[in-house]
Structure 1
Amino acid sequence: MITLYGVYRSRASRPLWLLAELGLPYTHIPVIQGYRLADPKAADAPLNTTSTAYLQVNPQGQIPAYTEDGLVLTESLAITLHIARCHGGALGPQNNAEAALMEQWSLFAATSVETPALEILYIIGDGGDKTPEGQASIAVNAEKLRRPLSRLAAHLSVHDWLVGDRFTAADINVAEIVRYAQSHPTLLGEFPSLQAWLVRCQSRPGFKAMWQARAAEPA
């Protein structure tokens, strides 16, 4: 039986989106980030990343975590790719080449897109876009994103999806990272094929179900 630990407002959104797409039965155990709580060690604190019970699952105290038949995974991209390989059907790899491409696109997004995209998200979320310093930092991080986003856009100008000309777990992993850059008011508009792909991804029922559940969680 699959058990997924984490809240929707975290990188758990990646496997939760895939699980929604697949309609797989699983147990979801909400685990909130300890830093979001005033006192994560309080007796009445909800299960969180500092809780002894959760640290027995992932001693690093991060979410998400995934268990299935004795297997424990603690990295969201690996979780999503594992679910896709074992349970994903057409959303998973159909051969070794597709598996390699799904891994490549996922790691590419994590290493080339995620950090500057998150920086932009955090700066804007904290109101830093209203200050000269924040605007300068946003500009620096947007420039860091232009090369990897150009690479994605070039691929998506001739393919509707990242792997195998069909929607797969690779699209989920990458879309959930590119989503962070949506906070920038104009950046994705520079890459029409990429922006159109992201709209296609976020129009899927699995994303809508995940996003609705995310919206229902406390911010």
Structure 2
Amino acid sequence: MLTIYGVYRSRATRPLWLLAEIALPFNHVPVIQAYRLPNPRAEDAPFNTASPEYLAVNPLGQVPCMEDEGLILTESLAITQHIARVHGGALGPQDAAEEALISQWTLLAATSIEACALEIQRILANGGGVQPEGQAAIAIASEKLRRPFARLERHFGGNDWLVGDRFTVADINVAECVRYSQGATALIAEFPALGAWLGRCQSRPAFLSMMAAREAEPA
């Protein structure tokens, strides 16, 4: 049976959302990030990314990680694409062209969106959005996001979803990267078709159940 290592308050949200969508039975091993613990190597520390047992699975010491029939993957977006391809049915690619398109949108999210969106989330979470320095940093990150967001806006001007006129793993991968920037409400408002698509993604029962589980975990 497929195993996912990682807590919900991590990039494990991506495969966990997908698994909720397809109702695939799996083992879930909560592995907390070592940086969130005062002493991750203490004898009574919870299972974490610095635990020797976990490093034996993923020497990178990061989450999520997946094991499926002997295959181990350590990158969240590769994990979702594998699950969708092998187990995902309509959420996965139906031919080579769709597989290429899913990879295209996933790589756009990873290379052009995630880092700047995470910077916005980090600043706002730490209360920096009310400080001039934080506002300036958010403005810089927002400017870098406008080009990929404009690309998505054009696509969603004539399409409800990213690939094949249906919800797929590409929507999960991109939506989870865009989500980090949602606190910059003025930025999102500049791209109404993108915002409407994000709303469609985040109104799905599987997303809502995943986020409920995330909120139930200690911050």
Do these two structures clear the TM 0.5 threshold for a shared fold by scoring above it?
A: yes
Deviation at 1:77? 0.3
Distance in 2 separating the partners of 1:157 and 1:48: 43
Among all aligned residue pairs of Structure 1 and Structure 2, give the percentage whose two residues are the same amino acid: 65
Question: 2:71 matched to which residue of 1?
Answer: 71
Residue 207 of structure 1 and its aligned partner are, at CA, apart by 0.3
Structure 1 residues 1-219: aligned runs within 5 Å: 1-219=1-219
Shift of 1:86: 0.3
- For 2:4 and 2:91, the matched residues in 1 are separated by 19
For residues 57 and 13 of structure 1, what CA distance do their matches in structure 2 show? 19
User: Structure 2: how far apart are the matches of 1:158 and 1:63?
Assistant: 36
Local SS of the residue matching 1:66: strand
Q: TM-score, normalised by structure 2?
A: 0.99
Give, in angstroms, the shift of residue 94 of structure 1.
0.2
CA apart distance, 1:209: 1.0
Deviations 1:90-128 (A, max 9, x none): 000000000010011001111000111111110111111
Amino acid at match of 2:131: T
Where structure 1 has 5 or more consecutive residues not aligned to the other structure, the ranges are none
Q: Residues 115-167 of structure 1: CA distance to partner in whole angstroms, max 9, x if unpaired?
A: 11111110111111111111111101100000100000110110000000000
Which portions of structure 1, spanning 4 or more consecutive aligned residues, are displaced by more than 3 angstroms?
none
**Is the partner of 1:187 in helix, strand or coil?**
helix
Alignment coverage as a number of residue pairs:
219
CA separation in 2, counterparts of 1:117 and 1:98?
A: 26
Which runs of 5 or more structure 2 residues have no equivalent in the other structure? Answer: none
Alpha-carbon RMSD: 0.5
* Secondary structure, counterpart of 1:79 in structure 2: helix
Distance 2:195 2:164 in 1: 19
Alignment TM-score, normalising by the size of structure 1: 0.99
